[in-house]
């Protein structure tokens, strides 16, 4: 169970990083245009 929880948290972190990058890129495009 501990290993599963660790894996889940890692996936969540990776997902947040990817979404955060997309969000930042979107906002950067709005600012530059």
- Distances in Å between the Cα of 17 and the Cα atoms of 5, 8, 11, 25, 28 are 18, 14, 10, 12, 16
pLDDT in tens, 7-20: 999 999 999 999 99
- The predicted pLDDT at position 33 comes to 66
Question: 30: pLDDT confidence band, cut at 50, 70 and 90?
Answer: confident
* Euclidean distance between CA atoms 33 and 29, whole angstroms: 6
Mean pLDDT estimate for the chain: 90
Q: What angle do CA 5, 9, 12 make, to 5 degrees?
A: 140
- The predicted pLDDT at position 29 comes to 82
């Amino acid at each position: 169970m501990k290993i599963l929880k660790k894996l889940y948290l890692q996936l969540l972190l990776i997902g947040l990083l990817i979404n955060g990058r997309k969000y930042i890129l979107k906002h950067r495009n709005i600012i530059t245009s």
